[in-house]
Structure 1
Amino acid sequence: MNIRKRGIFVPMKKIVLIIFTLISVSIHAQHLSKDSLSTVHIQKHQRILQSPLYRITHAGVPLILIGALNYGKDKDFRVIRNSYIPHFRYHYDDYLQYSPGVVMLGLKAFGIEGRSSWGRLLVSDAFSAGIMAATVNILKYSFRKPRPDDSGNNSFPSGHTATAFMFATMLHNEYGTTRSSLYSVLGYSLATGTAISRQLNNKHWFSDVLTGAGIGIVSTQLGYYLADLIFRGKGFIHPQLKWEPILRTKHTPHWVSRWDILSAETKYIYPNTSTLPDRVVPHPLFRPPGFLLRIGVLVVNLPLLRLLPKSIQNAFLILTRKSKKQ
């Protein structure tokens, strides 16, 4: 189905993709900023954020769905690659995909403890790798999608990207949530570099790497969840920092955002600034990775915002202005 706008045809798929992306971002961008919001509502929201289903799906599933929506639009992205670097041929991505895992195991081997003991770590990672490999191979040999360079019919999804994001999520779980978010930034940066290089090397389409990234993240979170069911409270070495929503009032400093990290010992909600702990870290890097991924997707799709009906554009701009004022 097509919609005519300003003399051009706009595919309905593209509009659906934009709307889905904006909705996905807005879910994480809403503020709990009204003074009338009760602690009960915040605790209910907190339970959702800490539920296993949310942890497993909140970052990876949107990537998979966006990749699926882009399935028929791959050639549009390939034109950009062929216009600027048609002869790009480097094979560093064959090794780069493993780099987040090398960092994680290296830290562990040199005595820098993360979330799990060796036993719990290996079981969690084994579950994650098994789920990822099975999912990728089933999809590859079910879709039989040709590669951009016609070197095979197993393009969808990208196994390199799935592997890279699997290891990046392992690094995030072990060290990004216990030591410093910079470990998460490093891991996902290396994984993103792998995904980009797969496209630059003309080995995968855009939808391949998006879906592969989502599969890698979901597989790892599911693998860790299964290991948690087996080990329960055993095998934890370093306590995790907790993502806790904070009730914002008119007295709350501007640097205290909804996603600030509270200490691992925090068991309750801090309703105002007078009871905020010293260990709240007001740094923009300390955010759930799923939120960062959605912001990135929004930035990529901003040029397409003009294709939306005027009423939706105005609503988006009004919401943006309100969030800035708050």
Structure 2
Amino acid sequence: MKKTLITITLFFILGNLFAQIDSTFIKRKRNLLQKSIVPVSLLVSGILLSDSGFEKSLNRETRDRVGNSFDFPIDEYTRFAPIVQLYVADIVGVKAKNHWFDQTKNLAVSIILTDVITNTLKRSIYKVRPNGFNAKAFPSGHSSLTFSTAAVLYEEFGQSSPILAYSGYGFAAITGSFRMLNNDHWLSDVLAGAGIGILVTKLVYHFDYLFKWNPFLKAKNIALIPRYSNGAVGLYFSKRF
């Protein structure tokens, strides 16, 4: 009788444990699907609109309005804005989802994966830019980078500071818009780039529990300070003694 009770208790505990694991897995899967709706929609829209009459017409109308000689390279600066925002927010003490090291880790992984995917597609898909400069239009690298980093900013400050969190997407939208206004990209290039950037970052944050490691979690007086020089963004590592 005692053995039977122990067996039943063990089955009950194990059944409960597996049910919780299964529930967590289903919840994570549902969460991932919800997070993927917007970026996948952007990516699919970019694919469907590529080489369409609509985007060619849009480009012609844009050129008629701003002129063929229009060139205002603000996109070379706004593409880095979400990164700067992220670290400035840390320095001034805005509450973030993660420690600065985990932020940097997720940011670096997101940027690297986005860059690899974007450049692989650029080399594989022969699509000429609207200005005819080369055949690496699809997808837009500036857009994929900025939307990826904007998604990092959103993930970190979406709960504590929504205005800051969404402002990164504002800079990303400006970057994508000026890629078209400067005649460097078609609409589909920008949409696809945005979709790739956001999707990659969402995936990185969804699976970040798999590579949780932070040697600075208990360290104090250590900070990263963003730096911009000669068109490149960098970081200063500082420690107060």
Deviations 1:173-192 (CA, angstroms, capped at 9, x unpaired): 0012x212212331111110
Corresponding residue of 2:92 = 110
Taking a change above 3 Å as real, the CA distance of residues 105 and 82 of structure 1, as seen in their structure-2 partners, is same
Q: What do residues 27-61 of structure 1 show as CA deviations (whole Å, max 9, x unaligned)?
A: xxxxxxxxxxxxxxxxx9xx769734225412200
Deviations 1:263-321 (A, max 9, x none): xxxxxxxxxxxxxxxxxxxxxxxxxxxxxxxxxxxxxxxxxxxxxxxxxxxxxxxxxxx
Equivalent pairs counted in the alignment come to 191
Q: Indicate the residue corresponding to 1:18 in structure 2.
A: none
Structure 1 residue 226 displacement after superposition: 3.0
**DSSP 3-state at the match of 1:84:** helix
* Deviation string, structure 1 residues 70-106 (Cα, Å, up to 9, x no partner): 0122312112211211232011101111101110111
1:190 aligns to 2:189 (yes or no): no
Residues 131 and 223 of structure 1 are in contact (CA less than 8 Å); yes or no, is this contact kept in structure 2?
Answer: no
1:101 matched to 2:80? The reply is no
On the 8 A contact 1:120/1:235 being kept in 2, the answer is no
Report how far residue 120 of structure 1 moved: 1.4
Following the alignment from structure 1 to structure 2, what is the Cα–Cα distance between the partners of residues 98 and 69? 28
2:64 to 83, 88, 92: 83
Q: Against the structure 1 CA distance between its residues 56 and 130, is the aligned structure 2 distance closer, same or farther, given a 3 Å change threshold? A: farther
1:204 correspondence with 2:185: yes
Distance, in Å, in 2 between the alignment partners of 1:226 and 1:130 is 16
* Contact 1:163 1:216 (8 Å CA) reproduced: yes
**Within-5 A mapping of 1:209-288:** 209-231=190-212
Secondary structure at the residue paired with 2:188? helix
- Relative to structure 1, the CA distance from residue 185 to residue 121 in structure 2 (aligned partners, 3 Å threshold; closer, same or farther) is closer
Which stretch of structure 1 is more off in the superposition, 107-116 or 89-98?
Answer: 107-116
Q: How far is 1:119 from its partner?
A: 2.2
1:92 match: 74
8 Å CA contact 1:171–1:184 kept in 2: the answer is: yes
Deviation at 1:123, TM superposition (A): 1.6
Query: Which whole-Å CA distance do the structure 2 matches of 1:119 and 1:68 have between them?
Result: 35
> What pairs up with 1:16-27 in 2 under 5 angstroms?
none
SS state at 1:59 partner = helix
Q: Is the Cα contact below 8 Å between 2:156 and 2:165 reproduced in 1?
A: no
Structure 2: give runs of 5+ residues left out of the alignment. 1-22, 218-241
Aligned to 2:120: 138
SS class of match (1:192): helix
Alignment of 1:284-295 (within 5 A): none
**What is residue 311 of structure 1 aligned with on the other side?**
none
- The secondary structure found in structure 2 opposite 1:51 is helix
* Structure 1 residues 50 and 172, CA gap change in structure 2 (3 angstroms): farther
User: Hey, what does 2:141 align to over in structure 1?
Assistant: 159
Asked if structure 2 preserves the Cα contact closer than 8 Å seen for 1:127 and 1:224, the reply is no
CA RMSD of aligned residues (A): 2.5
Q: Which residue of 2 aligns with 1:54?
A: 33
Which residue of 63, 68, 71 maps to 2:50? 71
Higher RCO (C-alpha 8 Å, min separation 6): 2
CA deviation string 1:149-199 (max 9, x = no partner): 1111111000001111111111100012x2122123311111101110000
Q: Is the 8 A contact 2:82 2:153 kept in 1?
A: yes
TM-score by length of 1: 0.54
Task: Give 1 or 2 for the bigger CA radius of gyration.
Answer: 2
In the alignment, the residues of structure 2 paired with residue 55 and residue 225 of structure 1 have an alpha-carbon distance, to the nearest angstrom, of 11
User: 8 Å contact 1:145–1:156 — kept in the other structure?
Assistant: yes
Tell me, in whole angstroms, the C-alpha distance in 1 between the residues paired with 2:29 and 2:169. Answer: 22
Distance in 2 separating the partners of 1:72 and 1:131: 26
The two structures have a TM-score, normalised by structure 2, of 0.73
Task: Report the AA paired with residue 44 of structure 2.
Answer: L
1:83–1:135 distance in 2 versus 1, CA, 3 Å: same
The aligned residue for residue 106 of structure 2 is: 124
